[in-house]
Amino acid sequence: MPIIASRASAAYGAGFGKSATAAVVLETGSYDAIASVTIPSGGVSSFTFAGIPVGYRNLEIYWKMATSVADRDMWVQFNNDTSASYHSYIVYSGSGAVNSYTSVGQTKIIWGGGTTTANEFAGGTLTVFNTSSPVTYKSTQANFGYAYNGSTIGTSGTAIVNHSIGSWANLNPVTSITISVASGVINENSSFDLYGEK
């Protein structure tokens, strides 16, 4: 049974001394649950969502994850394509500082890094856009955040926010997604849920 979701966008306009008016346009889409992965005992360095049906506009992965090594890049690759056709841009903030870096012409998209302490869980989303389009390269957007070392959010240096975008210079539909970690393993009980947006 599909999961139904709605998105709303609003445009507001008001003149000086006048009351505000609002126009709301609703866009309704449906989401199918495609697959779920829970990492087994011992962890894994990579896993693949294979046999993804063609026809979805976008794909969404909701995840919670810990890695055995701190600050490791997380990678995503499509259709087992190992060519240098992936590009990434990452922005992250923690301890009051904002940092960024770019990675172009790589064999995987970098969509974030592990937590600053090994074996701590974080959660987030990874979206793959235009997954079935024959005329558009595939793009990604990932977001995650966490408070580390059991600290309270709001205390200086205790939280990280990460946002990344990426692209795969390929016109083929996405039929498999491989997620991997740069070193160490994705820990036991990490989970990844894949949905397709029609």
Question: In angstroms, rounded to a whole number, what is the distance separating the alpha carbons of residues 55 and 27?
Answer: 19
Number of Cβ within a 10 Å radius of residue 174: 22
3-state secondary structure of 92: strand
Give the DSSP letter of residue 82: -
Q: Cα 194 to the chain's mean position, in Å?
A: 11
pLDDT in tens, the chain (198 residues): 333 333 333 333 333 343 344 444 445 568 999 999 999 999 999 999 999 999 999 999 999 988 898 767 889 999 999 999 999 998 877 666 788 889 999 999 988 766 667 887 888 899 999 999 999 999 999 998 776 655 444 444 556 778 899 999 999 999 999 999 988 999 999 999 999 999
Tell me, yes or no, if the pTM score tops 0.85.
no
Question: In angstroms, rounded to a whole number, what is the distance separating the alpha carbons of residues 11 and 26?
Answer: 12
Could you tell me the domains of the chain? 32-197 (2.60.120)
Structure tokens of 157? 């240096």
pLDDT the model gives residue 69: 86
Residue type, 61: I
37 and 177 in contact (C-beta within 8 Å)? no
